[in-house]
A and B are shown apart, each in its own frame.
Chain A
Amino acid sequence: MLPYILLAFLNGMIIGTSRAVNGRLSTGIGPFRASLWNHVVGFLFLTLVLLVMGDWKFDDAGSAPLSAYLGGFFGALFVAVNSYVFPRLGAMNAALLVISGQMVTAVLIDFHNRNETPGALRILGVVIVIAGIYLSRVTSAAREKGKGND
């Protein structure tokens, strides 16, 4: 159990590293080109992995609905948007804002997919996340005002 806990935790740190590196690239060549590099390099890396594993699933790919292929498009937009804001917001704030948008949207997507109202605990979770982000906005706005412009 403990190795898996550490693995999942480490994975979160690796995600942060990837976003920080892409954010750094974005300041040099712009967010859209950063997203392009991220996807091309990731694609080449996964090609190597699949070559080593020999785990190609072309036969199964046809059984997936067409909407399953939309993920790449949202991924390209996500990396561009996140790389743009990452150096501007700082690593912690960027992570917190992305997590908030992600969790609240996930509740809405589940609601849509299952067509049943989220339970009381989940709704409470959404309220607490939004309250936290509101607090973050209010306090950083106060700090910005104190420091003057930007």
Chain B
Amino acid sequence: MLGRSKDWLLGIAGGVLLALMTNYNSLLAKHTSSVFGSWVAHGIGAVAALLLVLVAARAFGAGGGERKEKRAKAPFWVYLGGIPGAFTVMLAAIAVNSSLELSGTIALMLVGQVLFGIVSDYFGLFGTPRRRLVLADFFVVLSVLTGSALIIFGGA
């Protein structure tokens, strides 16, 4: 119970980090371009992640790469998550420049993310545990998407 609450808070903290990232990255993109800005951000992010790996290895001992025995079994595609991640920057730039504008693009991307989550849980995609939807999930999804829509389209 306590363990799950920690994961839950970390999930929200991830969202806080993502909003801060977007805030600074869009500043960089405004001065350069969306693709070049993302390239610079990925480069700085790689250096930052390397530092995190080194700090974590020192803090938690040499076992920074936990469960090493699984490493050999992992298929090669698990290392390629960065490609769709970088690809989204270009797709978003195209959509933002259409009549959808920034607000419409963000809203549709949120819906896409949640729908992906529902499909992924249902089929247990990418090695995640399968999970069935319950009635409460429907209200949670509805609340988060409705609230987000009000924030996006509700003006300043």
Contact = CB atoms under 8 A, between A and B. Distances in A.
Interface of A: 1, 4-5, 7-25, 27-30, 32-43, 45-47, 49-50, 53, 55-57, 60-61, 63-65, 67-82, 84-107, 109-110, 113-114, 116, 118-122, 124-133, 135-137, 139-141, 143-145, 149-150
A95 B150 contact: no
28 contacts: A1-B98, A4-B99, A10-B91, A11-B88, A11-B91, A11-B109, A11-B112, A12-B110, A24-B74, A29-B65, A32-B49, A32-B56, A39-B46, A50-B35, A56-B36, A69-B28, A75-B25, A81-B14, A85-B7, A97-B8, A99-B114, A99-B144, A99-B148, A105-B19, A125-B154, A128-B150, A130-B147, A135-B140
Interface of B: 1, 3-5, 7-8, 10-25, 27-28, 30-33, 35-50, 52-53, 56, 64-67, 70-71, 73-74, 77-92, 94-95, 98-100, 104-105, 108-118, 120-121, 125-129, 131, 133-134, 136-137, 139-144, 146-156
A31 B44 CA distance: 17
Nearest to B98: A4
A9 B142 CA distance: 17
Given A8-B100, A72-B43, A76-B48, A86 B16 contact: no
A64 B31 contact: yes
Given A132-B139, A139-B134, 16 more contacts: A1-B99, A5-B108, A11-B91, A20-B126, A20-B128, A38-B81, A42-B38, A69-B28, A71-B20, A72-B25, A76-B48, A78-B18, A91-B117, A97-B11, A119-B156, A126-B147
